[in-house]
Amino acid sequence: MVVRGRIPKVRKILIRNNVDELNTTAAGLVIAIALESIELRGKFSIALAGGSTPRSLYTLLASDNYRKKIDWSKVTFFFGDERNVPPDSDESNFRMANESLLSPLGIRSTKVNRWKTELEPVNAAAEYEVKLEENGPLDLVLLGLGPDAHTASLFPHTHALREKEKLAVANWVEKFQTNRLTMTYTAINQARDVMFLVAGQEKSDAIAAVLEGKTRVEEFPAQGIKPTSGSLTWVIDEPASSKLKPS
Ligand code: 6PG
């Protein structure tokens, strides 16, 4: 008897010619993980990545080609991180995902766990921690990668990198002179699956450092993403992979 169970702990690096092919691959993986999670547990929880890269993936998932592939009523949404701005700010990760995915799919607000940026950052993080604890390990965490090898809002040399207990923190980022709100390594590494989406030549140095460089997590925070038992998949476009050693 074949027992459908956990995807074994594997690390996959998928290189695609361009952003369209990256998104098609990523959408297929998201759908597959969601269907397995809903089949096994009757639900699917996903932490969305912020920034600009994932917008086109979210638009694709909300398109007629994909929207009917999942029972979205069984999906609970989180955000890997958030800027310390109102939800209607053009910098808000919530706003970006709401415009490209959540509203087009008609997702009920009760299924969307927004960081409450109207609160003081520390209080917003504490409130988010409770939501994450109530949910338990996420089924999927989507992540981006900055040119400085940050991911979520885990920036180089910031205190959130050293947080071992909490699942969500406010993280002062000196170079931006502002707090960011972010899931910690502890929260992300508990996930059943973690997927990086990385596109663009400007990410090529960070990709090479994270995937092939010496382990220096304080300098290259994305190196700290090591799922405890889940899988880790990198979906990268050709330009972003251009400094990787030929495999
Ligand atoms: C954010 C993201 C951040 C992002 C990277 C890549 O709040 O900005 O969480 O980690 O994923 O900075 O951003 P781009 O996709 O815009 O290059």
Distance CA 144, CA 47 (A): 12
Determine which residue's CA is closest to atom 8 belonging to ligand 1. Answer: 51
Distance CA 52, CA 89 (A): 14
Q: Residue 175: is its pLDDT beyond 70?
A: yes
Q: How far is the CA of 29 from the centre of ligand 1 (A)?
A: 20
Give pLDDT, residue 2: 44
Give pLDDT, residue 10: 65
Is the beta carbon of 51 within 6 A of some atom in ligand 1?
yes
Q: How far is the CA of 83 from the centre of ligand 1 (A)?
A: 10
233 neighbors 141 (Cβ within 8 angstroms): no
Q: How far is the CA of 145 from the centre of ligand 1 (A)?
A: 6
Q: What is the pLDDT of residues 138-160, one digit of tens each?
A: 999 999 999 999 999 999 999 99
Q: How far is the CA of 93 from the centre of ligand 1 (A)?
A: 9
Best residue among 23, 53, 234 to mutate for probing ligand 1's pocket (most ligand atoms within 8 Å of CB) is 53
Q: What is the pLDDT of residues 107-138, one digit of tens each?
A: 999 999 999 999 999 999 999 999 999 999 99
In the chain, the percentage of residues whose pLDDT exceeds 70 is 96
Q: Residue 7: is its pLDDT beyond 60?
A: no
Give the mean model confidence (pLDDT) for residues 71-98: 98
Q: Residue 170: is its pLDDT beyond 80?
A: yes
Is the beta carbon of 204 within 6 A of some atom in ligand 1?
no
**Distances from the Cα of 158 to the Cαs of 75, 155, 176, 182, in angstroms?**
32, 6, 12, 12
Q: What's the predicted TM-score (pTM) here?
A: 0.96
Give pLDDT, residue 178: 98
Give pLDDT, residue 14: 97
Give pLDDT, residue 3: 44
Give pLDDT, residue 247: 75
Is the beta carbon of 93 within 6 A of some atom in ligand 1?
yes
Instruction: Tell me which residue of 193, 194, 236 sits closest to 212, measured CA to CA.
Output: 236
Give pLDDT, residue 9: 54
Distance CA 98, CA 58 (A): 9
- DSSP for 62-97 reads TSTTTGGGS-GGGEEEEESEEESS-TTSTT-HHHHH
For residue 99, count CB atoms less than 10 angstroms from its CB and return exposed for 0-12, middle for 13-18, buried for 19 or more.
Answer: middle
Residues in CB range of 176: below 8 A, 6 or more apart: none
- Average pLDDT of the residues of the chain: 96
Tokens 């993980």 found at: 33
